[in-house]
Amino acid sequence: MKAIILAAGMGKRLQEVSGNIPKSMIKIGKNSIIHHQIESCLDVGIKDFVFVLGYNKELLQEHILEKITPEQVKFVENPIYYKTNTLYSLWLARKFFDDDFIYFNADVLFKSELLKKISEKSEYSQLLLETKQCGEEEVKMIIDKNKRILEISKNLDFRKCAGEFIGIGKFNYKILNKFAEYLQYGVDTGQENNYFEFAVNLLVKDCYIVAVPTDNIPCIEIDFPQDLEKAKEMFSY
Protein backbone atom coordinates (compact mmCIF):
# COMPACT_ATOMS: atom_id res chain seq x y z
CA MET A 1 0.00 0.00 0.00
CA LYS A 2 1.09 3.56 -0.70
CA ALA A 3 -0.04 7.06 0.21
CA ILE A 4 -1.08 9.57 -2.46
CA ILE A 5 -0.97 13.06 -1.01
CA LEU A 6 -2.15 16.16 -2.87
CA ALA A 7 0.02 19.17 -2.01
CA ALA A 8 -0.19 21.42 -5.06
CA GLY A 9 -2.27 24.33 -3.79
CA MET A 10 -1.19 27.81 -2.76
CA GLY A 11 -3.17 28.01 0.49
CA LYS A 12 -4.19 31.62 -0.23
CA ARG A 13 -6.35 31.91 2.89
CA LEU A 14 -3.33 31.20 5.10
CA GLN A 15 -0.68 33.27 3.33
CA GLU A 16 -0.83 36.01 5.95
CA VAL A 17 0.42 33.37 8.38
CA SER A 18 2.55 31.19 6.13
CA GLY A 19 4.23 33.83 4.00
CA ASN A 20 5.42 32.28 0.75
CA ILE A 21 5.90 28.72 1.96
CA PRO A 22 3.33 26.01 1.10
CA LYS A 23 0.85 25.77 3.95
CA SER A 24 1.71 22.11 4.49
CA MET A 25 5.10 23.32 5.74
CA ILE A 26 3.58 25.35 8.58
CA LYS A 27 4.72 23.96 11.92
CA ILE A 28 2.28 22.47 14.40
CA GLY A 29 4.26 21.64 17.51
CA LYS A 30 7.63 20.13 16.57
CA ASN A 31 6.71 19.14 13.02
CA SER A 32 5.23 20.68 9.91
CA ILE A 33 1.80 19.50 8.81
CA ILE A 34 3.24 17.35 6.06
CA HIS A 35 5.91 15.86 8.32
CA HIS A 36 3.14 14.90 10.76
CA GLN A 37 1.36 13.16 7.87
CA ILE A 38 4.46 11.27 6.77
CA GLU A 39 5.14 10.10 10.33
CA SER A 40 1.53 8.91 10.67
CA CYS A 41 1.89 6.86 7.49
CA LEU A 42 5.17 5.35 8.63
CA ASP A 43 3.57 4.48 11.98
CA VAL A 44 1.07 2.19 10.22
CA GLY A 45 3.63 0.64 7.86
CA ILE A 46 3.08 2.80 4.77
CA LYS A 47 6.54 3.42 3.31
CA ASP A 48 5.82 4.41 -0.30
CA PHE A 49 4.53 7.86 -1.22
CA VAL A 50 3.27 9.85 -4.20
CA PHE A 51 3.08 13.63 -3.79
CA VAL A 52 1.40 15.93 -6.28
CA LEU A 53 3.18 19.29 -6.05
CA GLY A 54 2.59 22.67 -7.63
CA TYR A 55 3.06 25.90 -5.70
CA ASN A 56 6.71 26.39 -4.63
CA LYS A 57 7.34 22.76 -5.53
CA GLU A 58 11.13 22.73 -5.17
CA LEU A 59 10.96 23.99 -1.59
CA LEU A 60 8.26 21.50 -0.62
CA GLN A 61 10.05 18.60 -2.31
CA GLU A 62 13.23 19.36 -0.37
CA HIS A 63 11.20 19.56 2.85
CA ILE A 64 9.52 16.19 2.20
CA LEU A 65 12.90 14.55 1.60
CA GLU A 66 13.97 15.50 5.10
CA LYS A 67 11.67 12.69 6.33
CA ILE A 68 11.86 10.00 3.64
CA THR A 69 14.39 8.83 1.07
CA PRO A 70 14.15 9.47 -2.69
CA GLU A 71 13.58 5.74 -3.18
CA GLN A 72 10.37 5.93 -1.16
CA VAL A 73 8.71 8.72 -3.09
CA LYS A 74 7.45 9.74 -6.52
CA PHE A 75 6.75 13.39 -7.28
CA VAL A 76 4.11 14.51 -9.77
CA GLU A 77 3.87 18.13 -10.89
CA ASN A 78 0.60 19.98 -11.40
CA PRO A 79 1.81 22.86 -13.60
CA ILE A 80 -1.58 24.59 -13.54
CA TYR A 81 -2.18 24.26 -9.79
CA TYR A 82 -3.37 27.88 -9.62
CA LYS A 83 -6.48 27.17 -11.72
CA THR A 84 -7.24 23.53 -10.93
CA ASN A 85 -8.32 21.54 -7.89
CA THR A 86 -8.01 18.10 -6.35
CA LEU A 87 -9.78 16.26 -9.17
CA TYR A 88 -7.12 17.36 -11.63
CA SER A 89 -4.23 16.74 -9.24
CA LEU A 90 -5.37 13.19 -8.54
CA TRP A 91 -5.95 12.61 -12.26
CA LEU A 92 -2.29 13.52 -12.83
CA ALA A 93 -1.28 10.78 -10.38
CA ARG A 94 -3.37 8.05 -12.03
CA LYS A 95 -0.34 6.23 -13.48
CA PHE A 96 0.46 5.27 -9.88
CA PHE A 97 -2.90 3.53 -9.40
CA ASP A 98 -1.07 0.20 -9.31
CA ASP A 99 -1.72 -0.77 -5.69
CA ASP A 100 -4.09 -0.03 -2.83
CA PHE A 101 -3.56 3.54 -1.65
CA ILE A 102 -4.43 5.89 1.16
CA TYR A 103 -5.53 9.33 -0.05
CA PHE A 104 -5.53 12.71 1.64
CA ASN A 105 -4.74 16.36 1.06
CA ALA A 106 -1.63 17.95 2.54
CA ASP A 107 -3.61 20.32 4.77
CA VAL A 108 -5.30 17.63 6.90
CA LEU A 109 -3.81 17.01 10.32
CA PHE A 110 -4.69 13.78 12.11
CA LYS A 111 -3.42 11.13 14.47
CA SER A 112 -2.08 7.87 13.07
CA GLU A 113 -4.88 5.97 14.85
CA LEU A 114 -7.17 7.18 12.07
CA LEU A 115 -5.05 5.50 9.41
CA LYS A 116 -5.05 2.29 11.43
CA LYS A 117 -8.82 2.15 11.01
CA ILE A 118 -8.50 1.88 7.22
CA SER A 119 -4.94 0.71 6.48
CA GLU A 120 -5.50 -2.96 7.18
CA LYS A 121 -6.70 -5.28 4.44
CA SER A 122 -10.39 -4.96 3.70
CA GLU A 123 -12.58 -6.31 0.94
CA TYR A 124 -13.94 -2.83 0.28
CA SER A 125 -12.58 0.66 -0.22
CA GLN A 126 -13.23 2.91 2.76
CA LEU A 127 -13.73 6.61 3.48
CA LEU A 128 -13.47 8.12 6.95
CA LEU A 129 -16.67 9.71 8.25
CA GLU A 130 -17.09 12.11 11.14
CA THR A 131 -20.59 11.46 12.40
CA LYS A 132 -22.27 14.81 13.04
CA GLN A 133 -24.79 17.31 11.71
CA CYS A 134 -23.17 19.12 8.80
CA GLY A 135 -23.38 22.56 7.27
CA GLU A 136 -23.56 23.62 3.64
CA GLU A 137 -19.80 23.86 3.02
CA GLU A 138 -18.87 20.42 4.29
CA VAL A 139 -18.51 17.35 2.08
CA LYS A 140 -21.30 15.10 3.28
CA MET A 141 -22.20 11.42 2.93
CA ILE A 142 -25.46 9.57 2.62
CA ILE A 143 -25.03 5.94 3.68
CA ASP A 144 -27.27 2.90 4.08
CA LYS A 145 -27.74 0.69 7.15
CA ASN A 146 -24.62 -1.30 6.23
CA LYS A 147 -22.55 1.90 5.97
CA ARG A 148 -22.29 1.64 2.20
CA ILE A 149 -21.83 5.13 0.75
CA LEU A 150 -24.70 6.04 -1.57
CA GLU A 151 -23.78 9.68 -2.26
CA ILE A 152 -20.94 12.02 -1.39
CA SER A 153 -21.00 15.75 -2.13
CA LYS A 154 -21.27 19.19 -0.60
CA ASN A 155 -24.63 19.55 -2.33
CA LEU A 156 -26.66 17.09 -0.28
CA ASP A 157 -29.56 17.60 2.10
CA PHE A 158 -27.85 17.62 5.50
CA ARG A 159 -30.94 16.05 7.04
CA LYS A 160 -30.27 12.87 5.05
CA CYS A 161 -26.54 12.76 5.76
CA ALA A 162 -24.63 10.68 8.29
CA GLY A 163 -21.85 13.22 8.63
CA GLU A 164 -18.76 14.72 7.01
CA PHE A 165 -16.13 13.05 4.85
CA ILE A 166 -12.91 14.21 6.49
CA GLY A 167 -10.83 13.85 3.32
CA ILE A 168 -9.03 10.60 4.13
CA GLY A 169 -9.78 7.32 2.40
CA LYS A 170 -8.40 4.01 1.20
CA PHE A 171 -9.00 2.89 -2.35
CA ASN A 172 -8.50 -0.79 -3.17
CA TYR A 173 -6.72 -1.82 -6.34
CA LYS A 174 -9.71 -3.67 -7.79
CA ILE A 175 -11.70 -0.43 -8.30
CA LEU A 176 -8.86 1.82 -9.46
CA ASN A 177 -9.44 1.38 -13.19
CA LYS A 178 -13.01 2.55 -12.71
CA PHE A 179 -11.83 5.41 -10.48
CA ALA A 180 -9.37 6.53 -13.16
CA GLU A 181 -12.20 6.46 -15.73
CA TYR A 182 -14.30 8.84 -13.63
CA LEU A 183 -11.37 11.17 -13.03
CA GLN A 184 -10.81 11.17 -16.79
CA TYR A 185 -14.49 11.90 -17.33
CA GLY A 186 -14.17 14.87 -14.98
CA VAL A 187 -11.24 16.27 -16.94
CA ASP A 188 -12.97 15.63 -20.27
CA THR A 189 -16.09 17.49 -19.14
CA GLY A 190 -14.36 20.59 -17.80
CA GLN A 191 -14.26 19.69 -14.11
CA GLU A 192 -10.53 20.43 -13.64
CA ASN A 193 -11.33 23.00 -10.94
CA ASN A 194 -13.67 20.67 -9.08
CA TYR A 195 -12.95 18.53 -6.04
CA PHE A 196 -12.05 14.88 -6.42
CA GLU A 197 -15.32 13.96 -4.71
CA PHE A 198 -16.97 14.65 -8.08
CA ALA A 199 -15.39 11.43 -9.34
CA VAL A 200 -15.92 9.58 -6.04
CA ASN A 201 -19.66 10.34 -6.19
CA LEU A 202 -19.79 8.59 -9.56
CA LEU A 203 -17.63 5.76 -8.27
CA VAL A 204 -19.91 4.93 -5.32
CA LYS A 205 -22.75 4.27 -7.76
CA ASP A 206 -20.71 1.46 -9.33
CA CYS A 207 -18.58 0.18 -6.46
CA TYR A 208 -19.26 -0.81 -2.87
CA ILE A 209 -17.41 1.75 -0.74
CA VAL A 210 -17.84 1.82 3.02
CA ALA A 211 -17.94 4.72 5.48
CA VAL A 212 -15.74 4.14 8.53
CA PRO A 213 -16.54 6.32 11.58
CA THR A 214 -13.66 8.32 13.02
CA ASP A 215 -14.85 7.61 16.59
CA ASN A 216 -13.76 11.08 17.66
CA ILE A 217 -10.08 10.52 16.87
CA PRO A 218 -8.68 14.05 16.33
CA CYS A 219 -8.53 15.37 12.76
CA ILE A 220 -8.73 18.86 11.29
CA GLU A 221 -8.51 20.41 7.83
CA ILE A 222 -6.49 23.62 7.99
CA ASP A 223 -7.88 26.28 5.65
CA PHE A 224 -8.14 29.43 7.76
CA PRO A 225 -6.06 31.06 10.52
CA GLN A 226 -8.64 29.95 13.09
CA ASP A 227 -8.18 26.35 11.90
CA LEU A 228 -4.46 26.73 12.47
CA GLU A 229 -4.97 27.94 16.02
CA LYS A 230 -7.34 25.08 16.74
CA ALA A 231 -4.85 22.60 15.26
CA LYS A 232 -2.13 23.91 17.54
CA GLU A 233 -4.39 23.26 20.52
CA MET A 234 -5.24 19.76 19.31
CA PHE A 235 -1.75 18.71 18.25
CA SER A 236 0.69 20.43 20.58
CA TYR A 237 3.15 17.52 20.65
Over its length of 237 residues, how does the chain's per-residue pLDDT go in tens digits?
999 999 999 877 676 776 788 999 999 988 999 999 999 999 999 999 999 999 999 999 999 999 999 999 999 999 999 999 999 999 999 999 999 999 999 999 999 999 999 988 889 999 999 999 888 889 999 999 999 999 999 999 999 999 999 999 999 999 999 999 999 999 999 999 999 999 999 999 999 999 999 998 999 988 888 888 898 888 865
Q: What is the pTM of this model?
A: 0.94
d(CA 54, CA 109): 20
**2-234, what's its fold?**
Spore Coat Polysaccharide Biosynthesis Protein SpsA; Chain A (3.90.550)
User: For the chain, what are the domain ranges?
Assistant: 2-234
- The Cα 42–Cα 27 span in angstroms is 19
**Contact in structure between 37 and 108 (CB atoms under 8 Å):** yes
CB 47 within 8 A of CB 236: no
Q: Which CB contacts under 8 angstroms, 24+ apart, belong to 68-71?
A: 68/38, 68/42
